[in-house]
Amino acid sequence: MNNTRTNIERHVFFLAWGFVLWLAATVIFHFWGDWLIDVRHPIRTAVSFIIAIPLIYGCIAPLFSSLGIPYSDRARLSIYIALPGMLLDILSLLFHPFVFPLIPVESIHVLIAWLFWAYSFIFLAGMRPIKLATRHHS
């Protein structure tokens, strides 16, 4: 019973963390979306894609390490992190003129691509690192 309670608390914690990350990203895109996502400024837009990688990794991998989450649980827990944002982004995209008023309408498809990109890296942050085989020469 105690193990079940611990698992539920862990799942709720990671769902809440996912909500916090979604909220932070949504606020950032609400106020600075025109600077981050705009088809008329491909370099700035590309930079927002690139910067997302270390930001996402930095919000997830150290958390797993500091909480001592075993690699066997990280992929599942990364789903819990991504799920709130994926569900809430359905609404934020439906109401994009209000939620993301500064992102030009012609750039919404780029925002959608950015979201897929970001959620992919949330999932990747939960995967076990790949160790490359090394050959020992005798």
Residue 132 domain-assigned (yes or no): no
Residue 50 domain-assigned (yes or no): yes
Residue 136 domain-assigned (yes or no): no
Query: Which tokens sit at 63?
Result: 């958390």
Question: Which distant-in-sequence residues (6+ apart) come within 8 Å of 30 by Cβ?
Answer: 99, 100, 101, 102
Domain count for the chain, please give it. 1
Residue 134 domain-assigned (yes or no): no
Say if CB 127 and CB 65 are below 8 A apart.
Answer: no
Q: Look up residue 98 and give its amino acid.
A: F
Residue 135 domain-assigned (yes or no): no
Task: Express each pLDDT in 63-111 by its tens digit.
Answer: 999 999 999 999 999 999 999 999 999 999 999 999 999 999 999 999 9
Residue 106 domain-assigned (yes or no): yes
Residue 93 domain-assigned (yes or no): yes
Say if CB 94 and CB 108 are below 8 A apart.
Answer: no
Cα 85 to Cα 99: distance, rounded to the nearest angstrom: 14
* Domain assignment of residue 90, given as a range: 2-125
- At residue 128, the pLDDT reads 76
Q: What is the pTM of this model?
A: 0.88
Mark out the alpha helices in the chain (DSSP H runs): 2-36, 42-66, 71-94, 96-99, 108-125
DSSP class of 41: -
Task: Express each pLDDT in 15-62 by its tens digit.
Answer: 999 999 999 999 999 999 999 999 999 999 999 999 999 999 999 999
Cα 122 to Cα 77: distance, rounded to the nearest angstrom: 10
Cα 78 to Cα 85: distance, rounded to the nearest angstrom: 12
Residues present in the chain in total:
138
